[in-house]
Amino acid sequence: MHLDDNMFIPFLVAGDPHPDVTIELALVLQAAGADVLELGVPYSDPLADGPIIQRASARALKQGMTLPRAIQLAGKMRKKGVKIPIIIFTYYNPVLQLGKESFFALAKENGVDGVLIPDLPFEESEPIRRLGAETNIPLISLVAPTSKERIEKIASQAQGFLYCVSSLGVTGVRDTLPEEIHEFLAEVKQYSRVPVVVGFGISKSEQVQVLKAHCDGVVVGSALVQKVEELSDRLLQQEQHALDEFRRYVEQLVAPLRDVDFYGGVKEDEREKRAARAHSLSAGEVARGSEAAIRVDERH
């Protein structure tokens, strides 16, 4: 896995509104210029998530989605042609229920490139970090605008890339960015040896335009999940126009990060170039904190 700058990192809830639709959406995201995919595992008690992702999780759970099935869904994506890195976004309890070793073994078997566990405290993360290093599936750290000492501690030990939470609280679409976001990102980049991305609340191309000079990528979650919710019935009917509408929405978010053609779409050669780069290096290089550049949701 090769990580670049100006990354666009979308977030999807696995199985929302149906596992087959999630695969199709992943292919659309890749074609629209996504660099990394965050694949969220639905959970019955998603404390870090706002109402949009909570509803999506409920829909996915009704489809029978679980952590093992979400990981296997990543493997199916690989077989269908998804080449960009896939990060599994899961709460910690499902990992414990599956077993830490079994989790990483299954993730490796299905082509997963990283894992992000939002409710795992940094101070308790060493066992997961060790298993991640052994399997070349790095644990992605979250860092929030807290004390300088804590920011330095987390940033200096980050693997893969570092996910900056733009604001405290749950995920969700936000109209404005925090005034102090630029200072926060500058401080994080001072200590981080890996690419720095930012998420939680990003939903507009104007926000992406403002942020791109201050970080290495943006994560968009809730806004995309909300779009999936709006298109849900049409997506379940396999309506091509619904996939096209989703792609256009994604492309306008990606546009500030890319060269664009006259119509505002991402150039085909740019997509192919970035997809090739994204698949060119091993996950092991990411785990070692490769300087080669690699989120938001919103999740954020």
Q: What CATH code is carried by the domain that includes residue 141?
A: 3.20.20.70
Catalytic residue among 35, 49, 229, 251: 49
Segments of the chain scoring below 50 in pLDDT: 169-170, 172-174, 261-266, 277-300
Does any domain span residue 185?
A: yes
Domain count, the chain: 1
Question: Which residue in this structure is represented by tokens 């690699």?
Answer: 294
| Residue 38 annotated as catalytic | yes
Q: Is the dihedral of CA 16, 58, 112, 254 positive or negative?
A: positive
Does any domain span residue 150?
A: yes
Give the tokens for residue 299.
């999740």
Rounded to two decimals, what is the model's pTM? 0.85
Which domain covers residue 250, as residue numbers? 7-287
Classify residue 3 as left (phi > 0), alpha (psi -120 to 50) or beta. Answer: beta
| Residue 45 annotated as catalytic | no
Does any domain span residue 295?
A: no
Catalytic residue among 16, 24, 35, 38: 38
pLDDT at 128: 98
Name the average pLDDT for the chain.
Answer: 86
Does any domain span residue 296?
A: no
